[in-house]
Structure 1
Amino acid sequence: MTAPGSLVGFDAWAALAGDSPISRTEWAAIVGAWSEPHRRYHGLAHLAAVLGLVGELAGAASDPAAVALAAWYHDIAYDPTRTDNEQVSADRARAGLRGLVPEARVDEVVRLVLLTARHDPAPGDANGAVLCDADLSVLAGPPDAYAAYASAVRAEYGHLSDDEFTAGRIGLLERLLALPQLYRLPAVDDEWTARARANLTAELTLLRSRGASAPATPPPAAG
């Protein structure tokens, strides 16, 4: 298993974007963004986890480099008080990758980052399936790991009251459970889907038992 630090190190970035002063500056800015103190779940450990899985699933992608670059940027903008983090992240990817990789790959990275708003890639979208499945892998973790993830997300939304958070989180969980498929890749679908649905259902049951009186804006993040 690759160490988390090496997954987010400059060598891993340079394999995708080259080694140049501009590339080094961009990598440092990306790592700095992912290291913001308010990130209790959506930090460097999450980035490393997604990058590791993207690497493991790369054989299913049509452009593995684009998927990996999208992973670097997919939550580079993460402000729980906003509803447009994916759009801001996509715009940041376009600006940051300009001149570092071909324009066609930049376009694909932007498209993939935007997909993480709903994690619902179209049938046949191999790149989207790899990124979204990797990003949602936390949902299929052991119950204690899932509980730690849910607790960390709650901490990120500390500006919301319990009622507000509960209402928004319920909406998100219901949307995820309503997806025809949580995971699109056969390599992970059989192993992850049952565990993820069990975790989501358990959290949904718990939150419904608490009740909620006000919607949360934006809804708490999925992955």
Structure 2
Amino acid sequence: MVLKNIFLEISQNYSSDKKLTEEFWTEIETQYSKTSRHYHNLEHLENIFSELEEVKSEITDFDLITFSVFYHDVIYKSTAKDNEEKSAELAVVRLKNYNLSDNQLQRISKQILATKKHEKSSDQDVNFLTDADLSILGADRNTYQKYTEKIRKEYSVYPDFLYKPGRKKALVHF
């Protein structure tokens, strides 16, 4: 799966400015490729798209979901509590440059913000996105083990006595 191609293809539906689209892609790729990202990286996006492909025909607006996937973790710092809010804000700022309506921008923002708590929504597209985002939790034992190791690396700033109860609380919530 070539994420860049997915982003370029979807973007051309909303903008003819190829230079701008390349700039947006470069920003996305740079953010998801930071060395501090052991799990919330481009591989995570590939997994989400792989999951969503299976239910694509059931998604109301796959274009909007696609933008939401690319931007949902674009801002990510393990010590921050407002990653989703900042990611949603950046998505709206960037995508305002495309021919997206205010309603579409609001839906993208809502979808991104939903990845913070992963609660059931009345919007089925939101549910597809949040389920795909957490699909790693239902992976086979080996894949899940690798995921837990990567997450621990992302949160390595926290000692075990803080990390373990926090992680348990998150998993119980999910």
Classify the TM-score, shorter chain.
over 0.9
Residue aligned with 2:73, SS: coil
* 2:121 match: 122
* 2:137 match: 139
* Cα drift, residue 83 of structure 1: 0.5
Asked whether the 8 Å contact 1:38–1:156 carries over to 2, the reply is yes
Letter in 2 for 1:21: K
* 2:9 match: 15
* 1:108 match: 107
* 1:220 match: none
TM-score where L is the length of structure 1: 0.73
Letter in 2 for 1:95: V
CA distance in 1, matches of 2:10, 2:112: 16
Deviations 1:100-133 (A, max 9, x none): 141222221111000000111323x111011011
The structure 2 residue matched to 1:88, chosen from 55, 73, 86, is 86
* Cα drift, residue 96 of structure 1: 1.2
Aligned length: 169
Q: Which runs of 5+ in 2 are unaligned?
A: none
Q: Which runs of 5+ in 1 are unaligned?
A: 177-223
Asked whether the 8 Å contact 1:23–1:100 carries over to 2, the reply is no
* Cα drift, residue 49 of structure 1: 1.0
CA distance in 2, matches of 1:15, 1:54: 17
Letter in 2 for 1:68: T
* 1:78 match: 76
Name the structure, 1 or 2, with higher relative contact order (CA <8 Å, separation 6+). 2
Asked whether the 8 Å contact 1:60–1:130 carries over to 2, the reply is no
CA distance in 2, matches of 1:53, 1:96: 25
CA distance in 2, matches of 1:57, 1:134: 10
1:32-43 → structure 2 map (5 Å cutoff): 32-43=30-41
Residue aligned with 1:51, SS: helix
2:146 paired with 1:152: no
Structure with greater Cα Rg:
1
